Structures are given as C-alpha cells and as structure tokens.
Structure 1
Amino acid sequence: MQSLQKGDSSGTDDLEDNAENFTAWEDFYRIDWTPKEFLIKFRQQLEGYQLGANFEFDGVQVNGCNTKLVFKPIGKNGKWRLMFEPKKRDLRLLSRKISLGSLLNFQVGIGHDFHNGATGWKWKITSAFGEMGNSHIRHKTSIPVFPGFDVRVGWNAEYVLPDIHGSLGTGEPVIGMNLGHVSASIERVEAIFTHVT
C-alpha cells in the first residue's frame, strides 16, 4: 500500500500536494476476496457428543485436499477434542482454548504419529490480534443459511493507523504524514452441515 511521506524540507507545500494525490479510497485499502482455504464439514450430534468429518481444500493447490475426523463433547463439557488425519496418520488430543485475560488464549495437546511411531505434546499461546508487534485482527463470522447448514467465513485484517510527524534540524521533513492503510483478506470459507439425532 502507498503512504504519504515528505521527501524534502518544504513542509506544508509538499503536504498539500501529496494529499491531493491520495484522494482515492483505493490508496488506503486492499481486499483479497479469494479464500485461501475452503472446507466442507459434516457433523453428527448424538447424546452430548459430536462426530465430524472435515474435508479441507487448499485454494492454491489443485488436488490439495486433507481429511480430518473429529470427535468431541458439546456444550459445557466441550473441554477437549480428538482429531485424526488419515493422510498424515496423525492422532491428536487437544484442549479447548483457555482464556488468559481478555486478549490471549492458551491451548495444549498430545499427539501420536503412527507413520514415525512418535508421541509428543505441544502448546501455544494465540491472540485475536495476531503476533506481537503486528496490528492484526483475525475473526470468524458465522452465517446461518437454514437449520442444519451454516457458512462460516474466517478473515484477517492488517492495518497501519494514520500519523503526522515532523522534525527540525535533522535534515528530515518539517512536517510529514502517513495516511495509513488497511489490508484485508478472506482466509477460509467453511460450509457446515449438522445432523442432530
């Protein structure tokens, strides 16, 4: 994205000239509407548990499909989930995300790789605002289409807030401005089919 910065010490004259060049909204944002992943999820709910089959398609690779089988309790008892990936022959037991304050989440899991015969555990701390030092938002929006069928869209947004700056006696512009920008993209689209018995 483009930003507005001064190249010499002429100050307000350059500020006014450059401000006229950045009047189009397209200079301040970019949106990528093509999802990077597309998922089809089938869920069967029975007596407080949910069995699911996820088919994940990579938006870049032509034949990039990965299958996951997921088993987990639902409701207030949903503190864990068991996941198996047949292609990778990987079995994992994951905890639900545990809130660490209002911004951070903690998750731990143990897994077994049948292909290599290895067992180990992992943990991670995540945030809806991305990694440290980045102005980043991650969010999922659910759209109920009809009973038993939902569409969920996961999107990201990176942004730089506007700022005005300046200096004296340093050889840098007296007045400079960065109008900021927003870059957004759709990361994944999920089609979720749920059957309750």
Structure 2
Amino acid sequence: MMASLFSSFDPSTNLGLSLNWLSSFIGIMLIPSMFWLIPSRASVIWNKILNTLHKEFKVLMASNKMNGSTILFVSLFSLILFNNFLGLFPYIFTSTSHLTLTLSLALPLWLSFMIYGWVNNTIHMLAHLVPQGTPPALMPFMVCIETISNIIRPGTLAVRLTANMIAGHLLLTLLGNTGNSLSLYLINVLIIVQLALLTLESAVSIIQAYVFAVLSTLYSSEVN
C-alpha cells in the first residue's frame, strides 16, 4: 500500500513512460507564443503580475549595482509557478516535488551569491557572521550559528518547496483512493473536499513560487 502510494511521485510510472522532466520543458514551447499573438486579457494580466514582481524585487534588493537582475528572480518565479500548476493536472508529473529539480535551482543560486559576496565584499560578509550588539563572549557561538544557517539555506529552499508540493498531492491521492469503498452520499462529500483541496493546492502553488523567489532575492541582497 505504502509503495503504491508513493509511486505516484515516481515520474517513470505515469502511463508507463519514462518522460521524467518533459513537463518542465513544455513551457519553452508554449509560453513564447503569447509574444507573437495579439495581446489577450491573459497576457495583459500576466505582464502586470511580472511588472509588480519586478518592482517588489527591486525594492527588496535595495541596490543600484545589480540593475536588471530582477529578471532572474521573475523568471525563477514563472518557472516554478508553471511547474506547480502543471502538476495539478491528472497524469502529469510534478517536477517541483522532487529534490532533483528544486535543489538544482536553489544550490547554484546560493553558491553564486556566496562566491560573489566573499570575492567582492569580504568584509561585509564577515560582518554578517556577528550580528550587531552581540556580547564578546557569544561571538564564537554566533559565528558557528550564522555559518550553519548560511550553509543550510539551499537545502531549506529546496525542501520547503518539495515538501509543500508533496503534502497536498499526497492528501489528494489518499482521499481519492477511498472513493471505491464509499457510499453515494459520501462520494459527493469527497468530491467537495477534493475540490476544496484542489483550490488550496492552487493557492499553495502560487505562494511557494513567490516564497522561493522572494527568499532568493533576500539572499542576494545580503551579499551587497
């Protein structure tokens, strides 16, 4: 039972095909088409969302040295959001529910921030290891704590996104598997609950993409 339950998160078992990460690249074929068509309401709304994110990320970064870098985090938000929503459709593997993808996004970002910060702003990075107002006796401990908190940042980014994607899908799978043994009345209740959970998962998909992009922006602002 447990093996068959978690097999829904194995990309090679869906429809018996080993199309592991195809869903992540579908956006490359679909998204650019909006730029070649007459602007629709959907494209206008999406452009407004991207402009709002650009302004917010620009405020969070609070640095004039990295003009234009917000496009990286806006693109990161778009990629994660697309994959999160794509996983809500039946028989489509949710690539963001695997650490393979989420860690591949978080680790290079964090590593590039750290290399840039330690090479160009070494004094500033050292000052971050000891918060202002720390008593001298606690400074060695604060350095250890801050160092560990910096090292685990890519892991927390990746696990947060993966865990939130798995949790909702797992609950939907558990409830869906009970449908065969329920009466007609309870099946109607189950459908309502599943629709409510699906709405919640849609909100979680947006929130987690936003959280991932915002935290990445904040991590990049600390190295300047």
The interval holding the TM-score normalised by the smaller chain is under 0.3
Which structure is higher in helix share? 2
TM-score (normalised: structure 2)? 0.25
Higher Rg of the two aligned structures: 1
Structure showing greater relative contact order (alpha-carbon pairs closer than 8 Å, 6 or more residues apart):
2
TM-score (normalised: structure 1)? 0.28
